[in-house]
Each structure stands twice: as C-alpha cells, then as structure tokens.
C-alpha cells in the first residue's frame, strides 16, 4: 500500500514544476502548465496554485507574463564575489561550463578626462583608449564592458586580442602585467538609449553595474571602467563570521 503524502499541496506543485525542469521535459523559455491545469491535476483551488507559483517566481524558477502565461525562466548567470582571489568575469563563468565571446563595439583613442588622469595616474593632457565591448555568454548577450585603457597599453592591443581574450588575460599574457588588486563598487542602474539596444533589453530595464580599477602588483592602476549586466546576471556571495568574534 503506497505511503500517504502529507506534503502541502502548494509544495507538491512546486516540486512537480522543479522536477519537470530538472528532467528536461520543461526547458528554458517553455510554457509551464496553467493555473487551471495545475488545479485540476492536484485537485485544489487556483488560489493554492497561485501561491505555489508565486514562490517559484520569487526564486527565479519561472516568470509570469501578463496575458501570455507562465514560462520557465532563463538559467541565471552568476559570478560570485571572492575576496581572497582576483578572478575575471570570464574565469568565473567558464569555470561553470559556459562560453564567453566578444564583439567590439567601439575602440577609440582620445584625450583623457580630468578624472581619468587622476584615476589612472596619467600625465596631464595624456591620452586613453576607450573600449566598449559586448560579452556574450553561451551565445546570449549578457554584459557590456566599458574600459578606459592608458595609451601605452591601448595602442598595443590588437583586434584579435579584443575578439578572443578578457582584459585580464591580455594584460597578463600579452603585456606581462598580472592583475592582483581590484577596487570597485556595485550599483543599480537603468538601460537607456544605445545601451538598451546593444544589450537587447527594453529601455528602462534594470541593470547591474560594476565600477572598478584594476591594479598590478606594485599598485599601478592599469585599467578603469564599468561593466553593465542584464538583470538576469546574479552576484553570489557568502559572509562568514569569525569564530573568535
């Protein structure tokens, strides 16, 4: 005789959806069963179904589109914050089995602004190369990096380097300058104008923005800039208190 299942119905609905996704029967972007279908399947009310689905929406498992239905959410792209080791976005993503490709949008030489002179320790009147580059993760537009590179380094960067390597790898492998320190901040913003168009999101969509300066071992600032990420990019972190505190 089968053992009775005392799991609440809303939790069984969530388990069913998760199992369908894990098995591959529901794939990324696929339409999930509707509220009436799930209510009939589990012999419950639409209110119970709605409660179950709302939690899955909150967790990012599914997305609900007004007038269209419920769909399996895209798999999140995540790069954890590691305070003990400098790792590029590309290193973190490829370690999870994803691929990263680049599309150079702009790469121009211009006079450095006053703030860029200060940040990169340049001579007054110095020049920089401004790089705007689209990063595609497993074929999906995910991020635009806007880098400010001192002229002495930018003038040596080739189209092939920019099409195939992260800035960290270029600095390390091609110039012998290993990045050993990153100073930055994370903030929220909105996709406006060409930024939205280039990332393939609606204007006004939420973005995650990382501002940073990359430093060499001797604390020399190498590159500054900011990266703009779609809102389905996640930043994971762990905080652990010392046992002595």
pLDDT reported for residue 110: 96
Q: 219, 214, 205: which is closest to 184 by C-alpha?
A: 214
The fold of 9-72 is Arc Repressor Mutant, subunit A (1.10.10)
Domain parsing of the chain, residue ranges: 9-72, 77-234
pLDDT reported for residue 109: 97
- pLDDT tens across 196-240, in order? 999 999 999 999 898 999 999 888 999 999 999 988 776 665 555
The mean pLDDT value for 170-198 works out to: 91
d(C-alpha 144, C-alpha 160), whole Å: 18
How many Cα atoms within 13 Å fall on the side-chain side of residue 209?
14
Q: Looking at 48-52, 105-109, 158-162, which range is the least confident one?
A: 48-52
CATH code assigned to 77-234: 3.40.1410.10
Average pLDDT, the chain: 85
- pLDDT tens across 14-61, in order? 999 989 888 889 888 899 999 999 999 999 999 999 989 988 888 778
pTM to 2 decimal places: 0.64
Q: Looking at 35-39, 110-114, 175-179, 182-186, which range is the least confident one?
A: 182-186
């Amino acid at each position: 005789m089968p053992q009775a299942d005392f799991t609440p119905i809303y939790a069984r609905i969530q388990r069913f959806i998760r199992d369908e996704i894990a098995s591959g029967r529901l794939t990324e972007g696929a339409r999930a069963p509707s509220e009436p279908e799930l209510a009939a399947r589990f012999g419950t009310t639409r209110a119970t179904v709605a409660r179950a689905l709302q939690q899955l929406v909150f967790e990012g498992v599914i997305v609900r589109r007004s007038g269209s239905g419920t769909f399996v959410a895209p798999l999140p792209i995540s790069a954890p914050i590691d305070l003990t080791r400098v790792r590029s976005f590309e290193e973190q993503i490829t370690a999870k089995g994803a691929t990263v490709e680049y599309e150079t949008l702009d790469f121009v030489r211009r006079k450095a602004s006053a703030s860029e002179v200060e940040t990169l320790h340049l001579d007054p009147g110095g020049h920089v190369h401004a790089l705007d580059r689209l990063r595609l993760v497993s074929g999906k537009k995910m991020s635009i990096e806007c880098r400010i590179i001192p002229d002495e380094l930018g003038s040596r960067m080739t189209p092939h380097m920019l099409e195939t390597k992260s800035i960290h790898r270029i600095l390390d492998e091609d110039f012998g300058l290993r990045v050993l320190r990153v100073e930055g901040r994370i903030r929220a913003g909105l996709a406006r104008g060409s930024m939205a168009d280039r990332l393939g999101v609606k204007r006004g969509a939420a973005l995650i923005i990382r501002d940073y300066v990359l430093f060499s071992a001797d604390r020399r600032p190498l590159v500054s800039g900011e990266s703009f990420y779609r809102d389905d990019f996640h930043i994971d972190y762990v905080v652990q208190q010392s046992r002595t505190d």
